[in-house]
Structure 1
Amino acid sequence: MNPIIQLTGKVTYPITLDPTLWIFDDRRFEMADRFPGVNGLGMELAPFLDHAKPLPEAAKMVIYQREGSQTVLPLEDARTAVLQFAQEGKPIHPGGPALLHLPDGKLDQPIGSIEKMELV
């Protein structure tokens, strides 16, 4: 399993996310604080999107998964997403390197096996 997630597409700066390093990031938080019943650590996606600087025409985010599935989210929803990168003190496996959660129950289950997120 490759622990890297590419953030590409209609952005000024394509970036590479490595969730294995987030354990050292002060922005991490306990998932249960925002998603009752979910154990582990998470990071907000919005700061990474801001760093990539989406172009004005970017309206959606396509999430590409290892098994070939794709999920399309409005960019506004992607800005509220949380990437869970650890569970019970360990990296997410299987389904890692991160699980994408949306608040307010907008997803039936988190999106896993993410290889790339592309703004379109």
Structure 2
Amino acid sequence: MENIIILSGKAKYTITLDPTVWIFDDRRIDLTTYFSETNERTNELEEYTKSVSKHWDREIMEGAVYPPTLKTEKKYEKEKVLTGSFGIQFQPFLKNAEPDENATTLIIRTATLEQEIPLEIAKDLILGFSDKGKPLSEDGPVHVYFGDGSNKQEPIKYVREFIIK
């Protein structure tokens, strides 16, 4: 139970977060490159349309080609999961909790203190759940990073609960 984090407070729903299963989530973020890359907000429909168009153009020019490296790509992905440092965006969980209109802050309760941040900043939080392929059992279960990476070197650790106020 110490790995479970509750998101509660002024919200329609209370959300239970289990970081141990996020390694299987397609929304996971590689923390080794996330803060060094420029993170541009893109329109998902536009991005999907461009990728389908690119694929369609390639098939017309080259014909349908099946990549011979499919096995090596799967092996690389498996190795990456076993050795990588990953996080996940907090925004989808916050959205699913459906905060009240008058909610303004998020309290991050750790083992030793409480930190209040505005809800607008909380939407950009990244929850780190894995370091070099291992769960954050020593000082976790998650590390909280601000979306701009300003606390990349010293994230918020020992997180126990999120409370919407």
User: What TM-score do you get using the length of structure 2 for normalisation?
Assistant: 0.67
Q: Give the partner amino acid of 2:115.
A: T
Alignment of 1:1-120 (within 5 A): 2-36=2-36, 40-67=85-112, 69-107=113-151, 109-120=154-165
- RMSD, aligned CA: 1.5
> Structure 2: which 5+ residue stretches go unaligned?
37-83
Structure (1 or 2) with the greater strand fraction: 1
Distance in 1 separating the partners of 2:103 and 2:17: 19
Q: Tell me the CA shift for residue 105 of structure 1.
A: 4.2
Percent identity among equivalent residues?
Answer: 38
Instruction: Give unpaired runs (5+ residues) of structure 1.
Output: none
- Post-superposition Cα deviations, 1:32-71, rounded to whole Å, max 9, x if no partner, equal 22124xx61010000000010011011000011113x000
Greater percentage in helix: 2
How many equivalent pairs are there?
117
TM-score between the two structures when normalised by the length of structure 1: 0.91
Greater C-alpha radius of gyration? 2
- Following superposition, the deviation at residue 93 of structure 1 comes to 2.9
What stretches of structure 1 move > 6 A for 4+ residues in a row?
none
SS at match of 1:27: coil
Amino acid at match of 1:55: D
